[in-house]
Amino acid sequence: MDNNRIRVLQVSPSLGLGGTEKVMQSFAVNLDRQKFDTAVFSTSEGPRGKLLRMQGVNTFIGPDIFSVLTKFQPHVVHIHRAGWADPGALRPFKLARTPVLVETNVFGHHDPSPEAALIDRHLFVSHFCAERFTKINSIPAEKPKYSVLYNPVDTDFFLAHCPADRKFPKNCFGRISRADKGKWSNLALDFLPALKKQVEKKELPPFSYNIIGGIPEAEDFVVQNKLEKFVNFLPPILTDAEIACFLNSISFLAHANDTGESFGLVIAEAMAAGLPVITHPSRGLRDNAQMELVDHGKTGIVAANADEYAQAVNFLLTNPQEARKMGEKGRAKAAKLFRAQDIAAKLGEIYLELLKTKNII
C-alpha cells in the first residue's frame, strides 16, 4: 500500500472478454501512477486478470470485497455495472465507509434504491445514455451527481499498428463481437444473398466476410444459403494487438446488433484503426449510441434495412478510396474523443474533484 498516492479500487463484475471489463482495464492501466495507486477487484478470475498483472496492476480475486476494502483502504472505489438496482451490492462500501464511490453506468439505467445514494458520481458512457436517462426518469443528468465520460480507446496504439498508409486488403470486410446471440442482428447476414447474386452476375468481385464471434444461427444461415466461400468464422481474440491484426485484414467494419450500443467499443476501435463502419439505427428506446459514433456519409454509413446494408457494403467494396477517406475521418474523431490517456486524465480529475468536495484531500 502506497500512502503517498490516492488509492483507487476498480470493481469489475468479471475479468472476462467483455467491453465493460476492457474499459475497467484501460482505466486501471492509464490512470496517472504518480498520483494514483490503482488496484482491481473481481469476484472471479479471467483472461484480463493476467493482462492487468502483466501491466503492473494489483488484482484482488474472491467473494469478499469487504476484506479487500479493509486491507486496501481505497480513497475512491469505482464500480462498473449496468446501472440498475443490485440489492446488497453497495452495502460493503457503506460498512467500510468508502470516502468516494463512482459508478460507470454502462447501460444508462436508474437505480432508485436507497443504497444508490452512496454513489457520488454516475458516469454515462455516451450522451445518448445520459439523454435517455433524463427522458425516462425525469432526472437531469447533470453535475454534481451525473456526467458523461466516453469509454477509453488506445487510439495511439491503433495509429501505430494500423497506419494510414497501409495497404488495405481488396474485397474483404469483417465483423467482431462476442459469440453471444444478444450481440447479433439479422442485418449482419441478410444482406449476403443479394451480394452473392451480384457476384454470380459478375457485377461484383468475389468477397470475403470475416466474422469473429459467430453463433450457431449465423453458421446455419451461411450453410443454408450456400455462402461458405464468402464467409469465414474466426476464433475469439483478446488483446489490442490481436484486434489490430484483425482490423488490418479487412477494409471496413460491418456492425449490426439489435440491442444497439450504449457506447460501441468495437466501432470506436475500428474508427481508431482508420476503418469506415456500417451500422444501423435501433428502434424505440433501445441503445442507440452507435449513431453518436458513426456519422453517415462521413465516418461510415447508416443502413436501416437489408437492402440499404447491401448497398452500403457494395459501395465500400467498389469505392476503396472513398472508404479510406471515411476511415481517416473516423480515426480523427476517435483520437479527439476517445483517446485512452485523455479519458483517464479526465477520470482522474473527477476523482480529485469529488475528494476535494468532501475535504478528503
Task: Supply the pLDDT for residue 188.
Answer: 95
At 17, is the pLDDT very low, low, confident or very high (cuts 50, 70, 90)? Answer: confident
Residue 151 makes CB contacts below 8 A (sequence gap 6+) with: 19, 23, 26, 125, 263, 265, 268, 338, 343
Q: Is the peptide bond before 144 cis (omega within 30 degrees of 0)?
A: yes
CATH label, 155-338, candidates 3.90.550.10, 3.40.630.30, 3.40.50.2000, 3.60.20.10:
3.40.50.2000
Task: Supply the pLDDT for residue 4.
Answer: 85
Task: Supply the pLDDT for residue 2.
Answer: 58
155-338 shares the fold of 6-152+339-357: yes
Torsion of CA 137, 141, 144, 147, to 10 degrees: 140
At 56, is the pLDDT very low, low, confident or very high (cuts 50, 70, 90)? Answer: very high
* Average pLDDT value for the chain: 96
Give the span between the Cα atoms of 250 and 198, in whole angstroms.
20
Task: Supply the pLDDT for residue 142.
Answer: 96
At 152, is the pLDDT very low, low, confident or very high (cuts 50, 70, 90)? Answer: very high
Residue 274 makes CB contacts below 8 A (sequence gap 6+) with: 158, 162, 163, 164, 324, 327, 328, 330, 331
Give how far the C-alpha of residue 360 lies from the chain's centroid of Cα atoms, to the nearest Å.
32
Q: Which amino acid, residue 40?
A: V
CATH for 6-152+339-357 is: 3.40.50.2000
Tell me the domain boundaries of the chain.
6-152+339-357, 155-338
Under DSSP, is residue 126 helix (H, G, I), strand (E, B) or coil? Answer: coil
Maximum C-alpha span of the chain: 72
Task: Give tens-digit pLDDT for 313-341.
Answer: 999 999 999 999 999 999 999 999 999 99
